[in-house]
């Protein structure tokens, strides 16, 4: 069974084979200038996490105060990012190849996301393949499209990707380079042969006062649904709201 709880933005709690993993925790009401629409996720969703999968160190993905709320769990990250985390008193673990987490394996995969370099943090970025005996999940992280996405199933040793946690938007009306919008996200699902797509990185955070105007926060979800039906019709959409859980994703 694969269970997915979306906590907003790129924060997802993934349960596979008895292991609870969390991607890119941002579980506070704000991070810097970003403000969350609605309240923060309930602590019951993010307690007792076995490990964190961190895609990169931008503040909306690597919020130090959120990471410190998770009781010193291992944080699997690119090697330079792991070193940076350890220097700040966190359990950064360098992720360089398949890593076994009690029967669930994690592999770093490419992410093309280098358009906003930070002078004070390393700029390495990656996605994650998470594999159990019965399912494979791709947590894409922030990335633009790249040709090798087609190789994702072979990297996992499978014929297809079962679940794609796929970013479809951002925290503003316009996306900067290094991101996928709804159309690109649907192409990524087609390229990887994903059976199920769960859209993330949309509808959660904004920079005041932008979030008060227009429908830009909600629009990506409908656009992605339309694009997925056209471009990857064999892929099932599971659309969650922040705090919502899909207990058996692959039974949809």
Q: How far is CA 36 from CA 53, 160, 182, 205, in A?
A: 21, 34, 21, 5
CA nearest neighbour of 34 among 218, 173, 207, 216: 207
pLDDT along the chain (252 residues), means of 10: 94 96 95 89 92 96 96 96 97 96 96 84 96 96 97 94 96 88 98 97 91 87 98 97 88 70
What is the predicted pLDDT for the residue at 21? 98
Helix, strand or coil, per DSSP, at residue 153: helix
Burial of 208 (C-beta count, 10 Å sphere; 0-12/13-18/19+)? exposed
CATH of segment(s) 2-251: 3.60.15.10
Dist. CA 247–CA 252, nearest whole Å: 10
Hey, where are the domains in the chain? 2-251
Dist. CA 236–CA 252, nearest whole Å: 8
Dist. CA 26–CA 8, nearest whole Å: 8
- Please name the helix (run of DSSP H) or strand (run of DSSP E) that holds residue 3, with its range, or none: strand 2-6
Cβ neighbours around 91 below 10 Å, total: 17
């Amino acid at each position: 069974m694969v269970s997915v709880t979306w906590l907003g933005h790129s924060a997802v709690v993934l349960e596979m084979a008895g292991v609870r993993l969390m991607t890119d925790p941002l579980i506070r009401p704000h991070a810097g200038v970003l403000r969350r629409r609605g309240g923060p996720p309930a602590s019951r969703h993010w307690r007792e996490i076995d490990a964190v999968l961190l895609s990169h160190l931008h503040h909306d993905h690597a919020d130090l105060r959120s990471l410190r709320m998770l009781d010193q769990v291992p944080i699997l990250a690119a090697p330079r990012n792991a070193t940076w985390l350890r220097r700040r008193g966190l359990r950064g673990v360098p992720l360089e190849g398949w890593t076994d987490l009690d029967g669930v394996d994690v592999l770093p995969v490419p992410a093309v996301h280098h358009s906003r370099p930070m002078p004070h943090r390393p700029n390495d970025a990656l996605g994650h393949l998470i594999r159990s005996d019965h399912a494979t999940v791709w947590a894409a992280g922030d990335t633009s499209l790249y040709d090798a996405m087609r190789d994702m199933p072979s990297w996992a040793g499978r014929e297809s990707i079962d679940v794609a946690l796929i970013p479809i938007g951002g925290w503003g009306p316009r996306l900067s380079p290094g991101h996928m919008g709804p159309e690109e996200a649907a192409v990524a699902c087609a390229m990887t042969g994903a059976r199920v797509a769960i859209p993330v990185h949309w509808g959660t955070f904004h920079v005041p006062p932008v979030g008060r105007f227009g429908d830009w926060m909600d629009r990506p979800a409908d656009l992605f649904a339309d694009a997925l039906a056209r471009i990857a019709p064999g892929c099932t959409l599971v659309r969650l709201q922040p705090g919502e859980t899909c207990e058996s994703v692959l039974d949809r």
